[in-house]
A and B are shown apart, each in its own frame.
Chain A
Amino acid sequence: MEMVQKRMQQLGLPRIIIIAFIIIIFFAAFLQGQNMAQLISDSLVRFGQNLILALAMMPAIMSGIGLNMGLAIGIVCGLLGGMISIELGLTNIYGIACAMLIALMVGSLVGVLYGKILNRIKGSEMLIGNYLGYTVVYLMCMFWFAAPFSNPAIIWPMGGDGVRATVTLDGYYSGILNNFLSFEIGGITIPTGLFLFVFGVCWIIRIFSNSKVGTTLRAAGDNPEYARTSGIAVNRCRIIGAALSTALGALGIVVYAQSYGFYSLYEAPTTMSFTPMAAILLGGASMKKVNVWHAVVGTLLFQTMLTTALPVANMLLPDGNLSEVFRIIVSNGIILYALSQAGGEK
């Protein structure tokens, strides 16, 4: 019993509540006669699909920027990489590799600029980051509208200039990671390739955070004055944090898109930064403390809850828009909860 109590304490209240909620949902889904194997498969895919975006929050928190409210900037960079890869007509592994490469390069470069801006407004990174994200997304709307792409898969069906609102990846690299080495157990599909890739990224992030740069980043994030007098270049650390976060955001959207099957352009990225934020906070991260497990546990719980709750709720209340409303309420609710706990959980 004591053991159980200790484990519960380690887990923390928010996660216990969500786990209990998920159990209830699964129970309800079972009673409703839903396809359980399908629900679990979907949850697994959604977990892998969103994990890198949640990981993108990590370097930002570590370096003291806080949650990267401007993740949309990274996402736009990833979209640019994706568009270029399709424009070049690259398919399969070449297509996604090209998209990722461009996403990472553009993301890092833009991230450095982003970090330089954040260094000028220390103390209100999250507020400024948020608006900067919006600004960049809408600036890019103009770009998409006039972008000189010519591949018919990208441009509007009637031709002319500009990119269409959703670009399908069918025939390019839709599901290429998900389907790599995937197999089925008891009706549940395991997206092996996706998992290999995202856990690989987790591993790299872990190595990073245990490296010299990662450690100094954490010191700079926790107490910049301490770091400065210890001979650490604090501003450089923050730029590294912002650049890495942005680059991961860019990479994350490519992985997301290959699983989802589409790139969503124009205004779509504006709201995309909230879900990973909610996930990593749910996982137990605070404004000061974060590790890979927070991202993994948080994304798993959050995405499982969203994926499974929707069909159940839709069956209870068969009304069109409920799922989206539900997602917004829950993710913003969790962000609010986590931020209101100023110091984070002990």
Chain B
Amino acid sequence: MAENTPVLSMKNIGKAFSGNQVLQDVSLDIMPGEIYALCGENGAGKSTLMNILFGMPVIAATGGYTGKIYLEGEETHIKSPQEAIEHGIGMVHQEFMLIPGFSVGENIKLNREPLKNGALSRVFGKSLRNVDFDKIREDSKQALDKLGVELDPEADVQTLPVGYMQFVEIARELDKSSIKLLILDEPTAVLAESEAEIVLGIIKRLSQMGIAVLLITHRIGEIMEVADTVTILRDGVNVKTMKIADTTSGEIAELMVGRELVASENRERSEHEDENKEVAISIRNMKVDMPGERVNGIDLDVYKGEILGIGGLAGQGKLGIANGIMGVYPTTGEITVFGQPLKLNSPKDSIAAKLAFVSEDRKRQGFAPDLSIELNMVVPAMANHDEFFKKIGPFRQVDRKKVQETAEKYIQEFQIRCTGPKQEVRSLSGGNQQKVCIAKAILLKPDVLLVSEPTRGIDIGAKSIVLETISRINRETGVTIIFTSSELGELRQICHRIAIVSGGRVADVLKPDASNEEFGLAMGGGK
């Protein structure tokens, strides 16, 4: 931090979308070479802030913003992304913007290709100059070296592992010589841990080169590891800016969420009543043909009133179990629900047996994107239990009032952020969509609720609400829950028993307070 003028300084930024204030009085100062973390839940205003900084047209189209932006001490009003790039701001988006089929080098130099004269251009003029592929290779090699990444500039981008695509994105921004500030939007969200490590290493390197990095993330561990300064946004307001040296991850998490994380209140319950329990679902020799999550013959008993966790590594078949019980994927074997044999491969019969499912594949199976929140919640109950209807003359019509009241109740209970029950589910954030899916399942009044990966892809605030809700439903209504998750921490937090699946079979059934070694052993294929 040699200089005293910040590369970027945003003062009292405010922004409203049609009367709805999403940012208020947000200020931040980024020094050259500083790693500045910006964190907050989904919907806290991070993306809007970046859109303003990057001059995205959507901002101007919705009435501009208030407040001032200074770049190296000079007041600037960035009107387009091109302008932002000219000012030395680079951005790596969450979604990769790479052209498959182009080489690494071509992607890095995209739209800034070095040119040289060729036969045609000598005759017809500049516009027909050739692309200088040697120079592309050279330049991109240089940019990749700066990152400290071993990568062949001539490799085809689509053959690279995801992590390397991220490197190419960063190299592209770095290759723009004037870059002073690099914005990384959730750079590690899709990466495996080892790849994430490399990205973090790269971030540190950039900072040593004097490039300021604005890191948007909700992984607190990363912030603690690399950042110098952190600003936490919540509901569009600057909650706090702190030096990393002066804070702890606990404090950041708490500030981000603004509410206590769920305590693991189920622990003590798991001990007693182990004997003489009624079996809710009994599974014998179940095989499920679910692509990528095959189940090869499982025997499992689920007791009434418990939360049974199903864990295990990805691809080992843990997701197949719930999908098999619900008849979503082709299944063989025997399943009985409270003593009654269940007809397999028919979601309708599974629902009729008072089972309800919150699918891990939220986008595809969880909701109908163009229907309203309220309809999404009640359609399964309507279709299967004939609820939410009233008689008008000889006709049975949807009881709009009751539907709306029900939806409003759940919107409040689950703190779904929306404009009202009539809003389309498409326009909600992932966490809020998930809450709609859970409400949908609860409205079926199930005896057994199957919940798969409910916290995948949602921020920690929504996460804790979701976990809290699952745990509370179980406590209050006594409904049996089968909770599938790839996060062991979650499972241990709310489950009474945890079945670890490996190779399509149950490797072990453990107590939540079993040791890490036991879990690790089970995940690795059992005793």
Is there an interface contact between B368 and A231, defined as CB atoms closer than 8 Å? no
Contact A219 B371 (CB under 8 A): yes
CA distance A219 to B374 in the complex (A): 12
Find A226's partner among B348, B365, B382 (CB 8 Å cutoff).
B365
Contact status of A232 and B383, CB under 8 A, knowing A223-B369, A226-B367: yes
Closest CB of chain A to B345's CB: distance in Å?
A: 11
Contacts of A228 in B (CB 8 A): 328, 347, 365
Q: How far is the CA of A235 from the CA of B334 in the complex (A)?
A: 27
Indicate whether A211 sits within 8 Å of B383 (C-beta atoms), given known contacts A222-B369, A229-B357. Answer: no
Q: Is B370 on the interface with A (CB-CB < 8 A)?
A: yes
Q: Which among B359, B379, B389 has the highest number of chain A CB atoms within 10 Å?
A: B379
The listed residue with most B CB atoms (<10 A of its CB), out of A207, A211, A212, is: A212
Closest to B349 in A: A231
B440 contacts across to A, CB distance below 8 A: 230
Question: In the complex, what residue of chain B is closest to A226 when comparing beta carbons?
Answer: B368
Determine the chain B residues whose CB is within 8 A of the CB of A207 once the complex forms: 395, 397
Indicate if the CB atoms of B383 and A229 lie closer than 8 Å.
no
Q: Which of A211, A223, A232, A233 contacts B397 (CB 8 A)?
A: A211
* A215 proximity list for chain B (CB < 8 A): 375, 379, 382-383, 398
Residues of A within 8 A of B361 (CB): 225
Known interface pairs A229-B359, A230-B351. Does A218 touch B326 (Cβ–Cβ under 8 Å)?
no
Q: Is B347's CB under 8 angstroms from A211's CB? A: no
Complex Cα gap A224–B368 (Å) = 8
6 A-B pairs with the lowest CB-CB distances in the bound complex, closest first? A222-B368, A231-B348, A230-B380, A223-B368, A231-B351, A288-B370
User: Which residues 359-406 in B have Cβ within 8 Å of A in the complex?
Assistant: 359, 361, 364-371, 375, 379-380, 382-384, 386, 389, 395-398
Is B473 positioned at the interface, with any CB of A under 8 Å from its CB? no
Q: Evaluate whether A231 and B359 lie within 8 angstroms (CB atoms) in the complex, with A211-B395, A219-B368 already known.
A: no
Q: Is B120 part of the contact surface with A, judged by Cβ < 8 Å? A: no
Q: Hey, which chain A residues are within 8 Å of B382, CB to CB?
A: 212, 215-216
Of B347, B369, B371, B398, the contact of A231 (CB 8 Å cutoff)? B347
B351: min CB distance to chain A, Å = 4
* Contacts A212-B389, A222-B368, A225-B364 known; 9 new A-B pairs at CB < 8 A: A210-B398, A212-B396, A216-B379, A218-B375, A219-B371, A219-B375, A229-B326, A230-B379, A289-B370
Chain B 398-427 interface residues, beta-carbon cutoff 8 Å to A:
398
- State in angstroms the CA–CA spacing of A207 and B383 once bound together: 17
Q: Tell me if B352 is interfacial: C-beta within 8 Å of chain A.
A: yes
Residues of A within 8 A of B395 (CB): 207, 211
Residues 17-39 (chain B) with a chain A CB within 8 angstroms:
none
**A219 vs B440: C-alpha distance in the bound complex, in angstroms?**
13
What are 29 sample pairs from A and B whose C-beta atoms fall under 8 A apart? A207-B397, A210-B397, A211-B395, A211-B396, A211-B398, A212-B383, A212-B389, A218-B368, A219-B368, A219-B371, A219-B379, A222-B368, A222-B371, A223-B365, A223-B367, A225-B364, A227-B368, A228-B347, A229-B357, A229-B359, A230-B351, A230-B379, A230-B380, A230-B383, A230-B440, A231-B350, A231-B351, A231-B384, A289-B370
- Point out the residues of chain B lying under 8 angstroms from A216, CB to CB: 379, 382-383
Question: Which of B361, B369, B370, B395 has the largest count of A CB atoms less than 10 A from its CB?
Answer: B370
CB distance from A153 to the nearest CB of B (A): 39
Q: Name the CB-closest residue of A to B441.
A: A230
The interface residues of chain A lying within 8 Å CB-to-CB of B366 are: 226
Residue of B nearest to A207 (CB): B395
Q: Distance (Å) between the CB of B30 and the closest chain A CB?
A: 36
Report the bound CA distance from A288 to B375 in whole Å.
15
Task: Give the dominant DSSP class at A's interface.
Answer: helix
Q: How far is the CA of A223 from the CA of B361 in the complex (A)?
A: 13
Contact B375 A230 (CB under 8 A): no
A289 — which chain B residues lie within 8 A by C-beta? 370
Of A211, A218, A227, A229, chain B has the most CB atoms within 10 Å of the CB of: A229
Which of A216, A229, A230 gathers most chain B CB within 10 Å? A230
How many Å lie between the Cα of A219 and that of B382 in the bound state? 11
| CB closest residue in chain A, given B328 | A229
Q: Among the listed A210, A212, A229, A232, which residue makes an inter-chain contact with B365, where contact means beta carbons less than 8 Å apart?
A: A229
Residues of A within 8 A of B357 (CB): 229
Question: Complex: how many Å from CA A232 to CA B352?
Answer: 12
Minimum C-beta distance from A244 to chain B (A): 16
B302 to chain A, nearest CB (A): 20
Question: Beta-carbon contacts of B306-338 to A below 8 Å, as 1s and 0s?
Answer: 000000000000000000001010000000000
CB distance from A123 to the nearest CB of B (A): 15
Bound together, the chains give a CA A312 to CA B345 distance in angstroms of 63
Interchain CB contact under 8 A, A229 and B347: yes
- Cross-chain contact B386 with A212 (CB below 8 angstroms): yes
Chain B residue at smallest Cβ distance from A344: B370
A336–B397 alpha-carbon span in the complex (Å)? 35
With A210-B398, A219-B371: A231-B383 Cβ-Cβ less than 8 Å: yes
Query: How distant is the Cα of A273 from the Cα of B367 in the complex, in angstroms?
Result: 32
Bound CA span A232–B351, Å: 10
Q: Would you give the shortest CB distance from A31 to chain B, in whole angstroms?
A: 40
Given A212-B389, A226-B366, A231-B384, the answer on whether A218 and B371 have CB atoms closer than 8 Å is yes
Interface residues of A in 226-262 (CB under 8 A from B): 226-233
One digit per residue, 1 when the CB lies within 8 angstroms of any chain A CB and 0 when it does not, for chain B 271-302 equals 00000000000000000000000000000000
In the complex, chain B residues whose CB is within 8 Å of the CB of A226: 364-368
Q: List residues of A (191-226) whose CB comes within 8 Å of B's CBs.
A: 207, 210-212, 215-216, 218-219, 222-223, 225-226
How long is the Cα–Cα vector from A225 to B370 in the complex, in angstroms?
14
Residues on the B chain within 8 Å of A288, using CB: 370
In the bound assembly, the distance between CA atoms of A218 and B379 in angstroms comes to: 10
Give every chain B residue within 8 A of A219 (Cβ-Cβ): 368, 371, 375, 379, 383
Cβ of B359: which chain A residues have Cβ within 8 Å of it? 229
Q: How far is the CA of A210 from the CA of B395 in the complex (A)?
A: 10
A164 to B365, CA, bound (A): 53
Q: Of all chain B residues, which has the CB nearest A222?
A: B368
**B397 neighbours in A (Cβ, 8 Å):** 207, 210-211
**A230→B347 contact, CB < 8 A:** yes
A213 to chain B, nearest CB (A): 10
Q: Which residues of chain B are near A218, meaning CB under 8 Å?
A: 368, 371, 375
Q: Which residues of chain A have C-beta atoms less than 8 A from B368's C-beta?
A: 218-219, 222-223, 226-227
User: CB-defined interface of A154-168 with B at 8 Å, one 1/0 digit per residue?
Assistant: 000000000000000
Q: Name A232's closest neighbour in chain B (CB-CB).
A: B383
Interface centre among A210, A215, A227 (most CB of B within 10 A): A215
Chain A, residue nearest B359 (CB): A229
CB distance from B68 to the nearest CB of A (A): 29
Contact indicator B369/A233 (Cβ below 8 Å): no
Distance in angstroms from A315 CB to nearest chain B CB is 44
What's the Cα separation between A197 and B275 when bound, in Å?
69
CB nearest to B385 among chain A residues: A231
Q: In the bound complex, how far is the Cα of B351 from the Cα of A228, in angstroms?
A: 11
Distance of A117 from chain B, by nearest CB (Å): 24
Contacts of A231 in B (CB 8 A): 347-348, 350-352, 380, 383-384
B347 to chain A, nearest CB (A): 5
B403 closest partner in A (C-beta): A215
Query: CA of A219 to CA of B375 in the docked complex: distance in angstroms?
Result: 9
Residues of A288-309 contacting chain B, CB below 8 A: 288-289
Q: Which residues of B contact A227 (CB under 8 A)?
A: 368, 379
